[in-house]
Amino acid sequence: MKHMTLSEIADACCGIYCGDPAFLDCEVSSVAIDSRKVVKDTLFVAIKGARVDGHNFIPQVMEAGALCSLSEQDLGDVDYPYIRVSSCTEALKDLAEHYRRSLDIKVVGITGSVGKTSTKEMIASVLSEKYNVLKTEGNFNNEIGLPLTVFNIREEHEVAVLEMGISHFGDMKPLAKIARPDVCVITNIGYAHLENLGTRDGILKEKSSMTDYMNPKGSVIFNGDDDKLKSYTSRDGRTPVYFGLTASCPFHVENIERKGLKGTYAEFVTPTSRFHAHISIPGDHMIYNALAGVAVGYALGMDNEEIARGIEKLVPIAGRNNLIEAKHYTIIDDCYNANPASMKSSLDVLAYADTRKVAILGDMGELGADELAMHREVGAYAAFKNTDVLVCIGALSKDMAEAAKETVLATEKNMKVFHFDTKEDFYQNMGQILKENDTILVKASHFMEFPEIVKKLSEEA
């Protein structure tokens, strides 16, 4: 990170410096909340979590080489410097906002109900063909993760691609104040977090507030096929640029050639040009991701050749439509998280397989009062997509299985449907359910811990 002195840090987070004044002009090398990631001259932020209180590690990290700690507690007469703050979490955000303002860098902010991470990966892959890019790693997209990502920006970086995740009203404002995006991308307005945000209109209101803190001369890039986004009217009169499969969108595709699990070829149409590219990861949702990448690339001055190379270099990451050729099965590992829209997109991908198609699906969380109806919707959809075997795991997924069975009876489909309360129950029966050379989709919300299933399928002797 760029240099920040302890004096500057104390001012930025309204803290009280405690310790030898000689250290006030010393500069920190990094910021960490994990004691295991402390290196020489790190600023350690003592976050108090549900299970672990970072304050307990302050003596340890100072001995390990940290320059200073942020603390909510009076540490008394200690022989190392610390900065006393009222809230370490708020101080972390204040400090990240201050640090972001010191950076001469373009920031792309990405939010949406579905596909934030895969869109972030695509946009970063595209921009990397011209710029030195930093991107959000893993799920560091909330009030703790975003500041830590911002602190990783170095002077050599030219663009930061930041994923911004919210689940409650008021979550976006502090993230947007930190990121100060030059380009705002919204992938869609779906049903994730309805439990907290009430309606899709509530989701739209919260996610679109990202634009309140963007560069006034920046670009707003929305999915034009989303009914909520295409009718969006900004409070400041800013007109979004739209991408989508619909020809009315300035950025769209034509002449789509779907190559099953080997991806998609398409002709990309921009307001001023056309070019062809191959998307290696299958599914129409990946076409949307690529279009978002094209629109962002144009906003940041890239040409068609650079953008096409970036699209074609994208490789899947674990848990995100990652195709695994295991000894006995082809596994579509898409188990990082789930909601109704992403479940349907993944079933669309499974439908491309030319072998027996098996979907192992689990519970979806944070769907609010309509959660059972939404699970039933996914079960019926699996039947309509001609899935051969549907395995539902979890309490909520019982309704998914029941709806699938009802659809099979009503439509005379041949899909076999199973329900298990736990993963362990499924493991005891999987030998009778799965067959050699099956293509298997694995997907559920994160709390279901379905990577365990992917590992078991991959390692099966």
> Rg (Cα) of the chain, in Å, rounded?
24
Residue indicated by tokens 């972390």 = 92
Residue 115 counted as an annotated binding residue: yes
Which backbone phi and psi does 359 adopt, to 5 degrees?
A: -115, 120
Residue 113 counted as an annotated binding residue: yes
Residue 125 counted as an annotated binding residue: no
Residue 296 counted as an annotated binding residue: no
The structure tokens listed for 51 are 């299970």
Residue 379 counted as an annotated binding residue: no
Residue 116 counted as an annotated binding residue: yes
Strand order in the sheet with 133-135: 133-135, 159-163, 106-111, 183-186, 219-223, 241-243
Chain centroid to CA 308: 23
Residue 136 counted as an annotated binding residue: no
Question: What is the rounded distance in angstroms from the CA atom of residue 366 to the CA atom of residue 369?
Answer: 9
Is residue 141 within 8 A of residue 167, CB to CB? The reply is no
Question: What is the rounded distance in angstroms from the CA atom of residue 317 to the CA atom of residue 121?
Answer: 9
The structure tokens listed for 301 are 């001055």
Tally of CB atoms within 10 A around 369:
9
CA-based nearest residue to 120, from 181, 173, 169: 181
Residue 380 is which amino acid? A
Annotated binding-site positions for ATP: 112-118
Annotated binding-site positions: 112-118
